[in-house]
Chain A
């Protein structure tokens, strides 16, 4: 009887310790900084020009953004949803970050991961952003976000500076993806 009385607290201690040990291991793993999954590729001004102006099989949506831009972060979940909804209808969608190049493996992929964004992601790799801004649109003053929709010929069919109006953007996409289907 005495033995059984003594064994109960010991058994309880062993149980508690055995439960606590994996928990500590889990904590240890969580403390290690996780590498971002999203891959962000550098794009220079010439490559951006090629991307935007070349003839392509499908319409192209381009979102210029930065992690320090609040309206960019705000609209991003809508854009991720648009990508999910229209990629099956052959909409190509790429994002171009105007963050500092030092963020290419840090804040930019971390944010894309947090948004579960899977569209191709670029970061403008240019000492001077002005030529890139001018080639995208001479009327664009470089304020973010900026969203451009190009048809298959590389012509701008919709643009919006500032947080997108999702319904308006979807309407514009519907027109080009439907047009694409007819062709």
Chain B
């Protein structure tokens, strides 16, 4: 009986220690660095909000693609909803596709769908289970943008613009990058630090 109790106690301690270690490991986990500007992003496949698998190749624009890491609950990401929608509409007409990616573990496909509907987001939003693509691209926050050319070469990475509050807008870094690329000019600022809510990783 004593041996049984002891083994149960040891098993419980093992489980508790494991849980502590696992939670600590998550808290300490480092996000991989983002690919360098100029690096080619491999094609990937993710489910959309209807659980239909979509590849980057099938969604890419003829003149490039913007990948936007966004969230349902993040107030910073939500402050950009209108701007993101406007950007998607404007640049779709110019041959650049906008794809939203939600990598937050706690925000499921239904939440993503409802949020897109409530905020009138017409661009496609993919779910990133296990934050594989967020890890692959080194995305840390929402919103965070990656602009790829027609050959999936990374041309710009970072914030959409300088201000959460649109009234304080000074620098539209993402738009500047898209406009320069469309005009065949060199992008002046290829990286700008994205600021927002941390992506809640699995």
Given contacts A141-B193, A142-B141, 9 further A-B contacts (CB under 8 A): A68-B74, A68-B75, A128-B171, A129-B195, A130-B159, A134-B193, A141-B140, A141-B141, A162-B198
Decide if A128 touches B140 in the complex (CB within 8 Å): no
| B interface residues, how many (CB within 8 angstroms) | 24
| A143 sits at the interface (CB 8 A) | yes
Interface range on chain A (Cβ under 8 Å from partner): 20 to 34
Decide if B198 touches A128 in the complex (CB within 8 Å): no
A128-174, CB < 8 A from B: 128-130, 133-134, 141-144, 162-163, 165
Q: How far is the CA of A134 from the CA of B76 in the complex (A)?
A: 20
The interface-forming segment of B35-43, B58-66, B88-96, B162-170 is B162-170
**Chain B interface mostly helix, strand, loop or mixed?**
loop
Decide if B74 touches A165 in the complex (CB within 8 Å): no
The 6 closest A-B pairs by CB, nearest first: A128-B162, A143-B140, A142-B193, A142-B195, A68-B75, A163-B27
Decide if B141 touches A143 in the complex (CB within 8 Å): yes
Name 12 A/B residue pairs within 8 A (Cβ), A-sorted: A68-B75, A68-B76, A68-B197, A69-B197, A69-B198, A70-B198, A98-B195, A127-B168, A128-B171, A134-B193, A141-B141, A162-B27
Q: Which of B141, B193, B200 contacts A130 (CB 8 A)?
A: B193
Decide if B170 touches A128 in the complex (CB within 8 Å): yes
Q: Knowing A70-B200, A163-B27, A165-B27, say if A127 contacts B193 (CB, 8 Å).
A: no
B121 — which chain A residues lie within 8 A by C-beta?
none
Q: How far is the CA of A162 from the CA of B159 in the complex (A)?
A: 19
Q: Knowing A143-B140, A144-B198, say if A133 contacts B24 (CB, 8 Å).
A: no
B27 — which chain A residues lie within 8 A by C-beta?
71, 162-163, 165
Closest to B198 in A: A143
Q: Which of A128, A142, A165 contacts B28 (CB 8 A)?
A: A165
B194 — which chain A residues lie within 8 A by C-beta?
141-142
> B115-137 interface mask toward A, CB cutoff 8 Å, 1 = contact, 0 = none?
00000000000000000000000
